[in-house]
Structure 1
């Protein structure tokens, strides 16, 4: 009875007695969730175009952020460095299409999966060669990202909103919404879905695989850059940052691998859920819930709805 009280009654009582702390926790979870959704979006875009999970998305985020910071360290003005980094990500997209994807058209999914692993380790090695392995600081001031905090009087207490978190959430929401509309309502979006369904059939009706893949990988690269900037601003920019991309896995399981709205909803569920779990239930388990709760939620979804909330349920007839 004491255990049930501690698990189900005490946390709810804390939420009711201190609504300002609840609001603070939900806000922090919301910001993390939006950034998780932005990471997951990169995975969704490439999966929709190639039908394979892109293991390189996490290192693309790190590589983009390191390129930006590395150029700034060489004395390149911040906004020129940002433009050059975008150009580098376009070059990466062209290189992946020409050297990796084009020779593997119509190959089994496992071949493409292994190819993305190869891209991952190439970028790790190349990135360490060029930028070194030491953590770097994100150029937040040079990019005119805000600092400081806003204190709101709310629910009889105070809720602190970091200005950087507000900017990150706003930019991420705009990017996610814009990309969702672009890929759902435009001709390129329809072509992307055709490529994901069947490479050979898409080719037969005039869809250019090389153009679609370059567009999608470049878009995923820009998303990775934006994600790297904001996660790098919250911590240091280093190769350890790619661990954050692993949180995209439960997000994708919840939302569905083929759904842009699913990435958004899944990110918010994971972000808010892990913050609430850490703050209200963490003390019962000695803390650390935030590092594994997302995977437990994903496991439950796999058992009862493996295609995710918005994923397509595929039935193959034999």
Structure 2
């Protein structure tokens, strides 16, 4: 893979800001007209899940559809998106030069949808049916998390459900991901928390709190308004949520989250299936994507797929799915 160019790397001051706040951005990536054109071309491809790595998933429930996870592995635009130097250079400024992308997800919010609960994600066992960690940092780190790059594929103002962060909360986990949440479909769009309609795809994220009496300090929250085509970078361990969609417009809000790790982190170390929110699908066709540097560890597998003529780089030491 070509040597990383420093053109989009974070400055030392920006890196310091990120480590203090747990997030940075937004940054411009696409012009709104360009993103809208890309989105129009993308929609029919997303409807065709024949090549999706989880297209044969079973037991999928609620609003989460595993068939639309990791679509960067079969849709060229998304494959190129996760490897854009505007994103990768900045992520590598935080994680170091050797970086993989292990997951991508769409987050739609339709008119009238509730906001998303305040939450943190460390090893992502909280939504796994097996309760096994989906990522494992080396040396038995207390917690690690992942870098999330959230791109606004549509406008994301407050009234359409933009993200919210509580700065500086990424260093202390307030939730225990080994606890269990109970799915309740009737709670969707029907529950108020601190006066705001919030939920977590049919679950109540408060069930994972280490201290049942604790509540996040929402007075410290900041709203991340983003124009179409911008992206923001944050630790998954940062306290984050989203506003409800007010329904004042009939346009959905669509975010696309790509998740990045240093190559030292193990991905799905104990699982042959992806299990989330009542759905499951085989990981047989899954592979990480090396987006920067090299992998000297060799404990993760990588995809060798060519997506519409775009071939992912394959690290020499590591395995290939």
TM tier, smaller: under 0.3
- Larger strand proportion, structure 1 or 2? 2
- Larger helix proportion, structure 1 or 2? 1
The normalised TM-score by structure 2 is: 0.27
The normalised TM-score by structure 1 is: 0.27
